[in-house]
Amino acid sequence: MADIITTSYNLKIESLFVDGDTRTQTLKNPRADITTADIQNLESFMRANNIIKGDKYGGTFGRIQTVKRVSETRTKLDFS
């Protein structure tokens, strides 16, 4: 048996709140073709509805600061 290598992808959306607090939301299996417009639409919706709050002081949502598509490779070692 050989080692088993798997790769998974996550989307990490970092939000900035007006009090300087930041939070990161992680979504599994992000699309490969996410556009700037997709993120801008999401940001507009989040701001219009103040949909999430800061987790330190309950701050008001300000904007999406960064969006990262992160790959994680796991290697299951073969000990047999």
Partner 1 sequence: MSSTSLKLVSSNAQTGAKINTSIPYVNESASSATLKQYGQMLNALTTNNYLQTDRVQTINVDTEEVPTGNTKPTPTITLTPSSLTRLQIFQRSTDIKVEWTGDYQGNIYTQSIEEYDPNVYIEDSGDDAGKTKMYFYHPGNQGDTGNWYTGTLTGIIMIPETANYSAATANFTVTE
Site residues for partner 1 per CB under 8 A: 11, 23, 25-31, 34, 38, 41-42, 45-46, 49-55, 58
> Smallest gap, in angstroms, from Cβ of residue 12 to partner 1?
11
> Smallest gap, in angstroms, from Cβ of residue 55 to partner 1?
5
In terms of CB distance, is 5 or 77 closer to partner 1? 5
42 membership: H or E segment, kind and range: helix 36-49
Edge-to-edge strand list for the sheet holding 4-17? 22-28, 4-17, 61-76
Q: How many residues does the chain have?
A: 80
Token pair, residue 11, equals 């989307």
> Smallest gap, in angstroms, from Cβ of residue 41 to partner 1?
7
